[in-house]
Each structure stands twice: as C-alpha cells, then as structure tokens.
Amino acid sequence: MGITELRQLATPSAKQADAPDSIGAQLVRQGAISRTDIVLAGMVRAHCDASIDDILKAEGLIDEDVLLAAHAARLKTRTVDREAVAALASRPGNLPPGLMLRQALLPVSDRDGMPAIVTHAPGPAQQADGARILIAPRTLIQDEIAVRHRTALTDAAQSRVSAEESCRTWGNAFNRRIAVTVALVAMLATLTVAFPSIMFAIVALWASATLAVSILLKLAAFLASLSSEIPSIRADRLRDAGPPLPKVSIIVPLFRETEIAHHLIARLQRLTYPKCLLDVILVLEEEDALTRRTLAQIDLPPWMRAVIVPDGQPRTKPRAMNYALDFCAGDIIGIFDAEDAPDPDQITIIARRFQHVPEDVVCLQGVLDYYNPRQNWLARCFTIEYATWFRVMLPGMAKLGFAIPLGGTTLYFRRDALERLGGWDSHNVTEDADLGFRLARHGMRTEMVATVTAEEANCRVWPWIKQRSRWLKGYMTTYLVHMRRPALLYRQLGTWKFLGFHAHFMVALSQLLLAPILWSFWLVLLGLPHPLDPMVSRSVLYMVGSLFLTAEIVSIVIHAAAVNRHGHRHLLPWVPTMHVYATLGAVAAYKALYELVVNPFFWDKTTHGVSLPVTSAQGSIEGLSDDRADFP
C-alpha cells in the first residue's frame, strides 16, 4: 500500500512526525513536501524495508535533485555534479569496487585535499567515518565507480566463479580439443568401417539403456508431481502480513532488443510490488548502441535504471549479470528475460515465500509458460514441452530429492548465497542449469513456486534450432565441468543426487544424439528388415522396439497431463506430434556437439519480439495467471 491509498484511509498524528534533524523534517522546513505525506511515508516504511528517500521518489512526491539538496542542507555540505565528481581524486581505502558499487559510496579527496565520501543517502555509518560528506545521485556515483575501476570490475564479471567450477579455462585448449576430437572421430570411423554391425549394436544397446532410464525417470517424476504441492501464496493475503517486505533487485539482460523494449517496460510497470522496494536493472552491452538509444527515449520510472556492461569477452548473458550484480541494491536478486510477462503479484509472492522457507532454500524458481502458443505448430509444441518440464518434471524431480537445473528466468536468489557461489559462470552458455547444480553441490536448495511468467515461444525452425543447440551445448559443458572431479562431486551431492545428476544429463544428451538409432526400430515395429538382424534375434529386436514404443506412449500421456488444464487444453490434439518435434532436437544436438569443440563460448542470440504483432501478451498472461489453481 502506498501513500496515495493511505491518504484515504489514515489520519496521521502529529506525534508521528520525524525528528527535527531528519531528512523528512528538512523537506518539510523547505516546503518541498507536506508534514502529512512525510508521516504517511513513515507508515509505509513500517511495512517495507525502504528508506524515506526511496518511498518519496517511488510515489512521485519529490524530485531527486530537491531531495539531494535537502540532504546537503541538513548536513551543511554541498551537492556535486558529474563534472565535479570526475575532478575529485580517488582516495585510497579498503573498500573493494564491488562493495562501493553496492553501497554507492565513492571515497575521494575534496578540493582542499580533505578526505570525503560521495554518497546519495548519507547514514550514520558514513557520518561516523569522519570524512566530509558530498551528495550526488546514486546513478552518477555508480557510473563514476564503474569508470574508475573498469578493469577490475570487468575482470571480476568474467571470473567470479572459481576456476574449478568454471569452463573458462577451455579457451586456452583449442588445439588440444581439435586434436582429441579428430583422434576420436578417426578411431570411431575406423571401428565402424571394420566392425559395422558390432558398433551399431553397442550404440543401440546404450541408446536402449538410456531410453529405459528415461522412461523410469519420467514416470517417477510424473507420479511424484501428482503428490507434490508447489507452494502457492496469494499476494493479496500476505501483502500486509508478516515482517517488512525486503528490497528486491531484478536484473534484465538486454542485447539488441529494440523491438521489445517498450513492451518490457510496460510489463514491468504492471508489477504490484511496492515500487519503493523495486530495483530494476536493465543491463545493456556497451557496443549495443541501438538498444541504448531506444531506452534513452523512454522515460524510465525512478525504480528502473540502465547499467552498461563494458565490452569484453565472452559477450554472454551470465557475464552481463555478473557485472550488474554489484549495482543491485536488493537482498533478493531476480532474473527476467527481455520478452517476459510475469504475474503482476509475482515478486510479493516470492518475497513472502523467502520469509517462510528454511535458510538453506536460497533459490525460488517460478513457472515459465508461453503467451503465443497458437501462433504456429512449432509454438504449440514448444508450449507443450515447457508445460511438461515446469509443471511435471521439475516439481517431480524436486519431490524425489534430486538437484534440479534452473530455468534462465523467473529465478530469485538470496543475494548473500549467490555472491558466496560467485554468481554465474560467464563462459557457460547454459548458466542457469550450471548454477542449479552448483547450489546443490554446496548444500543449498531450490524450491518451485506457483507463479507464472509468460515468454515468447521461438516459433521459427532455424532460430529454434540455434537456441536449442545453445542450451544443449551448455548442458554438455555443465556435465563435463562438474565431472572434472567425480569423487568430489559424489561427496558433495550424495549418492541419490549424484545418480540423479547422471540420469538427467546422460538421458537428455544421449537420447538426442542417438535418436536416429532409436528411430531405426520403427523398421522392426513395421515388420521391415533392420541392420541388427544378422546379429540379434527378431524377438530381442521386438523387445527393444516395444521399449521405444512404450517411451513414446509414456511421453504422450505425460504431455497430455501437463497441458490438460485451464489455458492449455487446446493443445491436446497436438500432443501426438511431439515425436516429430523431437527430430529438431536431434539436429540441434549435433550442432551443439560441433560448437562445443570449435566455439564453446559462442552465444547464439535468440531474436525476440517476433510474435508481438500477432498476440497480446497482457491478455494472454491474465489467462495463464489463473492457472495457478491447477498446479499439482
């Protein structure tokens, strides 16, 4: 509840007025704001972990320049503009650049050589430091810190994760990767030419074994999801209950997103979380001048700002998020993608859930859905796949006690835990899956929460293949990185999660890479000759063919169960076509395997905004939001 609503409900008492030396009292003395509104801001503060400054700015009751001038008058100091700050020499100190960014504090030497601190909201700690206080806007201070410590901050963004848990060292082994790959391909080719039937039989045996594991894993997750309850907390029941709501920072990486920028801002403004507690960071690449110009033409609200990532390598989403992390003011860090349309009450649900879960639950994962499932066949199948993954498989795997790979968006972290882990591996192109298992390795847990974010389904074949190949390349990378020291991974995860780790990755990758081998068993089911006829009896081949058919039936049943709910039942007739859809995944898998060798850090960018002329995201998301009642 904001000041506007409180004006209609409350009659503030004069006894509630701020202390004479407070910023509120100073603003009243200057006539910048009424005493009533200052008291009401204090009432809002009782329910929100926010400063009076943030409350007044978020409510649009005061201009930032007026607020900063009031701070300066109260402390008998001066405000400084961009040129003045740039002219002040840095003062040696013990504050690392990351901490300076988070607190927006810049130690300098003033014009007379005296020690000073440039800050936007002076508190008792800064005043007790003994240095002179200078006042400047938060964004100006952070920009200046970023300029002065560009190299250190850029290096940190690229290497926050420990080298042992990162793939960044792969960049130094290109020749070795090529040599090993050529040797392996030559060996396999030689063996295949020399012993074609035996090699085919070995590969078919592995494909069949992983297929059996896939069936068991899907059935177990499906049955577990039927008995699991994804926590569903309605914001309208909790907004005014419990401890004060925390500050939440949302990181939104943008790269060449001019088509969708205005839609993104509009969707973010629909969030009902108190704006004084929202800190939305729009992360832009330095070389992306077009998106920067687009955003410059938009009048952003005071709780939304842009952060420019210095150009460097690799140019990836996780590197951009690592850089932006230090700019965040919140105790909870959330991630959105450019095309996201989150439930309006999502952040309130997340904040309240964090207040109720144990401390080892450091990540909350929301449900991803699509707002353009009717656009074409590919969008329909993609929506069916996401419904199955986020509404059945992930909740089921979590219920079974497995570590789960995270989605790339609608993720929320306790900030301290995220920083202890080193943020994201800037070189891993599937940083979300990697982070999910790093959380588990360090004894932290992820919980699914019943709040929906709608995205734009990739509805064109080649862009879909490129996007999926990036995901699969990241999966391959994640598996290889975590298996560097299998014994350590086993000790950290324990037996059950260790087995789940292998089952998840080996099934996902093997089934796609070996899909052509499995498809060959259609020949057996149709009574046609099969390459293994000379070596294996027809009855055994029928058993394998029956296993393949069972897997298809299980997948159809689970897909149908996932979409048989409000908002997605229209997809039921398309469920049988998922077998055809899977062929695209096989193509993407081979592209991913090739890129893993020749270009492991390449981020194949997905173009967003394709469906905007076709569908209304706002209308569609309202239908999806009601879907929470249908969660298992």
Domain contains 188: yes
The verdict on 214 and 135 lying in the same domain is: no
Supply the pLDDT for residue 15. 46
pLDDT above 90 for 37: no
What CA–CA distance (Å, rounded) separates 127 from 117? 9
The residues facing 455 across adjacent strands are 370
The residue-averaged pLDDT of 420-445 equals 95
The verdict on 140 and 48 lying in the same domain is: yes
Domain contains 267: no
* 3-state SS track over 523-572: HHHCCCCCCCCCCCCHHHHHHHHHHHHHHHHHHHHHHHHHHCCCCCHHHH
pLDDT band of residue 621 (cuts 50, 70, 90) is very low
Question: Cβ neighbours of residue 519 under 8 Å, at least 6 residues apart?
Answer: none
pLDDT band of residue 470 (cuts 50, 70, 90) is very high
Q: How many domains in the chain?
A: 2
Supply the pLDDT for residue 318. 95
Residue bearing the bigger pLDDT, 623 or 419? 419
Supply the pLDDT for residue 2. 59
Domain contains 463: yes
The verdict on 438 and 564 lying in the same domain is: yes
Q: Which two tokens stand for residue 281?
A: 């960071």
Using N-to-C axis directions, what is the helix angle for 431-441 and 461-482, rounded to 10°?
30
pLDDT band of residue 352 (cuts 50, 70, 90) is very high
Domain contains 381: yes
Q: Which two tokens stand for residue 582?
A: 């899977």
The verdict on 513 and 561 lying in the same domain is: yes
Supply the pLDDT for residue 627. 45
Domain contains 297: no
The model carries a pTM of 0.90
* 3-state SS track over 247-307: CEEEEEEECCCCCCHHHHHHHHHCCCCCHHHEEEEEEEECCCHHHHHHHHCCCCCCCEEEE
The verdict on 141 and 189 lying in the same domain is: no
The verdict on 121 and 202 lying in the same domain is: no
pLDDT in tens, 389-399: 999 999 999 99
The verdict on 218 and 123 lying in the same domain is: no
* DSSP secondary structure of 129-182: T-SEEEE--HHHHHHHHHHHTHHHHHHHHHS-S-GGG-SGGGGG-HHHHHHHHH
Domain closes at, from 138, 153, 168: 153
The verdict on 217 and 125 lying in the same domain is: no
pLDDT band of residue 1 (cuts 50, 70, 90) is low
Supply the pLDDT for residue 337. 93
Supply the pLDDT for residue 217. 96
pLDDT band of residue 408 (cuts 50, 70, 90) is confident
- The residue range of the domain holding 554 is 184-231+339-632
Supply the pLDDT for residue 609. 67
For 55-64, 157-166, 442-451, 606-615, which range has the lowest pLDDT when averaged over its residues? 606-615
Give the up-direction half-sphere exposure of residue 10: CA atoms within 13 A in the CB hemisphere.
20
pLDDT band of residue 628 (cuts 50, 70, 90) is very low
The verdict on 121 and 191 lying in the same domain is: no
- How many contiguous H segments (helices) and E segments (strands) does the chain have? 28, 12
Domain contains 76: yes
DSSP 8-state assignment for residue 78: -
Q: Return mean pLDDT, the chain.
A: 88
Supply the pLDDT for residue 231. 61
The verdict on 149 and 194 lying in the same domain is: no
The verdict on 365 and 506 lying in the same domain is: yes
* DSSP secondary structure of 410-435: SEEEEHHHHHHHTS--TT-TTHHHHH
Domain contains 309: no
The verdict on 479 and 521 lying in the same domain is: yes
**Bond preceding residue 314 cis, omega within 30 of 0:** yes
pLDDT above 90 for 330: yes
Supply the pLDDT for residue 174. 82
Give the up-direction half-sphere exposure of residue 254: CA atoms within 13 A in the CB hemisphere.
34
pLDDT above 50 for 16: no
Domain contains 508: yes
* DSSP secondary structure of 495-510: HHHHHHHHHHHHHHHH
pLDDT band of residue 93 (cuts 50, 70, 90) is confident
pLDDT in tens, 113-158: 999 999 998 876 565 567 899 999 999 999 999 999 999 999 999 9
pLDDT above 50 for 619: no
* Angle ∠(550,555,558) on CA atoms, nearest 5: 125
